[in-house]
Amino acid sequence: MRYYLYVSAAKVDMLYGQIPPKLLRRLAVEAKVDLKVVSVAVQSPRADTSTYDRLDIVEAYLDREFDVSWMSEPTAWFRGDLGLRIAGYGDADGPTLMTGRDGDTVVALIGSAHHLIGYQAAPDMHRVGFSGLPSISRLLQNIPPEWEDQFGVRWRGGRMPNRESVEHEVLRVAESLTVPPMYCEFLARQLMRSTVTREDGKELTILIGTPLYVAMSDRAPEDEGA
């Protein structure tokens, strides 16, 4: 069992709906999902399965049909096990940013806060998606006021960050976050991967993705350095 912190129901439903019906039962066996539930789902409607049943089947499908890699050598879909600092709790209709570092790789996961477990928007509230590069670019250049106390630098009062590339802005935010990390495992879709040279000459790989899920890991947080 996983203790989920974030599950993108929108991505789960989108991917689940594209799985060929003939594969669903076979994938359910691999994912150890209740076959009675899947039998109903294969017939119609598919929505009779729970979000977590669909997530298990989607993950089994990705593992079967795609090259799901580790975050150090990411392909289109990648996994990770990392201490993540999470910004965005408390604003169900805003963005969330989860970032951490493994050696010379900085991982930044961008998503919508209403997918955080326990932080759902009201039914009548318009939900905005924050899973793409345009959204993360706008976010990093205009940090929401409610995040301000979580950063070591203050970007309000008319002073905006320099309009550098997205990867430089990701590094700026990753190194400014002061919230304590939670050790997590995740599965994400890659949006961008690039190399950034810091002012001290050190090269870092910046990996940006949008998560399918993030769950607490059984491992303890480690000091990942600067």
Report the pLDDT value the prediction gives residue 50, as an integer from 0 to 100.
83
Beta bridge partners of 168: none
Higher-confidence residue of 74 and 137: namely 74
Domain range list for the chain = 3-65, 78-216
- Flag the least confident range among 75-89, 150-164, 185-199: 150-164
Instruction: Give pLDDT tens digits for 94-115.
Output: 678 899 999 999 999 988 877 8
What's the pLDDT score for residue 223? 44
CA distance 46 to 67: 26
pTM: 0.75
Give CA–CA dist 159/216, Å, rounded: 36
- What is the spatial distance between Cα 88 and Cα 61, in angstroms, rounded to a whole number? 30
The confidence score (pLDDT) of residue 96 equals 82
Measured distance CA(100)–CA(82) in Å, rounded = 7
Would you say residue 156 has pLDDT above 70? no
Two structure tokens written together for 194: 């690039």
Q: How far is residue 125 from each of residues 53, 74, 91, 113, 121, measured CA to CA in Å?
A: 27, 35, 12, 13, 6
pLDDT beyond 70 at 226: no
